[in-house]
Each structure stands twice: as C-alpha cells, then as structure tokens.
Amino acid sequence: MSDRTASVNNITQELQHVTADLHPVNPLAGLLRFSILGLIFIGLVILAWSLPNNILFVVVTILAGVVYGFWLICTHDMAHQTLTGWQWFVIG
C-alpha cells in the first residue's frame, strides 16, 4: 500500500511541475475572451432573427450555437477561477 501512495505522490508532484506555467492567469485576456464571444453570439442571434431566408437562418443559428458552446466553456472557467483568477465565489 505504501508503494502505491509513494507512486501517487510522485505523479502528483510531476503533474504540478509540468503544469506550473499554466497556473498564472491574465484577467484582461479572460474578460476579453468572454466579451468577444458574448458579442459574437448576440450578434449572430440578432442576425439570424433578421434574415428572411430560412436556410440562412438555420446556418447562422447553428453558428450561434457553436459560439454559445465556447461561451459556456468560458463561464465554466469562471466557476473554477481560471478565466480571470478572481476569487468571487470562494466559500470558507
């Protein structure tokens, strides 16, 4: 059992060492990414609703859905404080 614990601790230390350069977060880049994706999504939705052609409506709506997926990933990053690094919702 102690061999397994030593192995897990070794892997944990190696993983922390390898990902050390990923820990610093640039808040401006995160907010810019969130804002740009949001503006693109809202723009595509407005464009889709203003199109008279049903085929173009569907194509632009699909593009808006793809952008919305990336926007959701950004909000997930916010929940883990990896988008801006700000500790807004930390309890305790």
DSSP collapsed to 3 states, 18-32: HCHHHCCCCHHHHHH
Reading the chain (92 residues) residue by residue, the pLDDT tens digits are 566 666 767 888 888 888 777 667 777 888 888 899 999 999 999 999 999 999 999 999 999 999 999 999 888 777 777 777 777 656 65
This prediction has a pTM of 0.70
As a whole number of angstroms, the distance between CA 88 and CA 7 comes to 35
Query: Residues 6 or more apart from 56 whose CB is under 8 A from it?
Result: none
pLDDT tens for 65-75 read: 999 999 998 88
Token pair belonging to 69: 């997926």
